[in-house]
């Protein structure tokens, strides 16, 4: 069975590490038990700085089977960064070369537990996802363990099917 490699992208402090740790620590680190057996899942967290862009994505993240683009719902600047990343992934057609289908991209609004200081409306995330053919999740690495597992499990499942995003 092939390994599944996911790139978790987004600005500094949006919760990329928290999401990955949440997902992986319930099971053996680095392993994901699927219905059809065991697959190794490598989730790599990449913080994108404002100065980085095309070259980083193209040169360093071409290996990914799927992309999880994260922003913090209480930080509008992180949403702007996530939007730029999603557009770049689409522009560069990342991942498409090694799959026959569209690149897998999930857009994740993290820190939903901070909705009392929300700066990004849920509808804005939904709209960006719809425009960019991404699946959309709004959740909290801190409080929504099941949703985090569901999101990553869906991504792993889709990636193992060959990149279908729905
Ligand atoms: P990264 O730089 O994107 O990897 O971000 P981290 O995973 O290191 O998280 C940055 C900060 O946000 C840490 O203090 C985390 O505890 C906090 N954090 C991460 N996820 C959540 C969340 O869902 N809710 C809240 N309230 N804080 C979170």
Indicate which residue's Cα is closest to atom 24 of ligand 1: 111
148 lines ligand 1 (CB under 6 A): no
Q: What is the mean pLDDT of the chain?
A: 78
Across the range 39-58, mean pLDDT stands at 54
Q: Classify residue 133 as left (phi > 0), alpha (psi -120 to 50) or beta.
A: left
User: Does residue 29 have a pLDDT over 60?
Assistant: no
Pocket test for ligand 1, best of 8, 12, 13 (most atoms within 8 A of CB): 13
Residues with Cβ within 8 Å of 51's Cβ and at least 6 positions away in sequence, in order, are none
Strand partners, 147: none
Closest to 114 measured CA to CA, from 145, 75, 166 = 75
Of all helices (H) and strands (E), which one includes residue 147? helix 145-161
Asked if residues 41 and 20 have their Cβ atoms less than 8 Å apart, the reply is: no
- How confident is the model at residue 71, as a pLDDT? 97
Q: Determine the average pLDDT of the residues in 121-142.
A: 95
Q: Look at residue 164 in the predicted model and tell me its pLDDT.
A: 46
Q: Which H or E run contains 11?
A: none
Q: Is 145 in the pocket of ligand 1 (CB under 6 A)?
A: no
**Measuring CA to CA, which residue among 62, 11, 17 is closest to residue 43?**
17
Among 29-33, 43-47, 103-107, top mean pLDDT goes to 103-107
The whole-number pLDDT of residue 1 equals: 53
Measured between alpha carbons, how far is residue 73 from residues 7, 24, 69, 76, 110 in Å? 20, 23, 13, 7, 6
């Amino acid at each position: 069975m092939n390994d599944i490699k996911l790139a978790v992208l987004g600005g500094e402090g949006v919760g990329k590490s928290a999401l990955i740790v949440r997902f992986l620590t319930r099971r053996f680190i680095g392993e994901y038990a699927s219905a059809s057996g065991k697959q190794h899942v490598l989730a790599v967290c990449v913080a994108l700085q404002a100065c980085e862009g095309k070259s980083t994505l193209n040169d360093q993240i071409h290996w990914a089977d799927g992309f999880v683009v994260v922003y913090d719902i209480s930080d509008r600047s992180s949403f702007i960064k996530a939007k730029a990343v999603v557009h770049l992934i689409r522009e560069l057609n990342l991942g498409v070369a090694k799959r026959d289908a569209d690149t897998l991209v999930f857009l994740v609004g993290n820190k939903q537990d901070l909705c009392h200081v929300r700066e990004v409306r849920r509808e804005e995330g939904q709209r960006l996802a719809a425009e960019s053919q991404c699946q959309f999740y709004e959740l909290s690495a801190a409080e929504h363990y099941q949703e985090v597992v569901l999101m990553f499990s869906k991504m792993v499942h889709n990636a193992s099917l060959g990149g279908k995003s729905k």
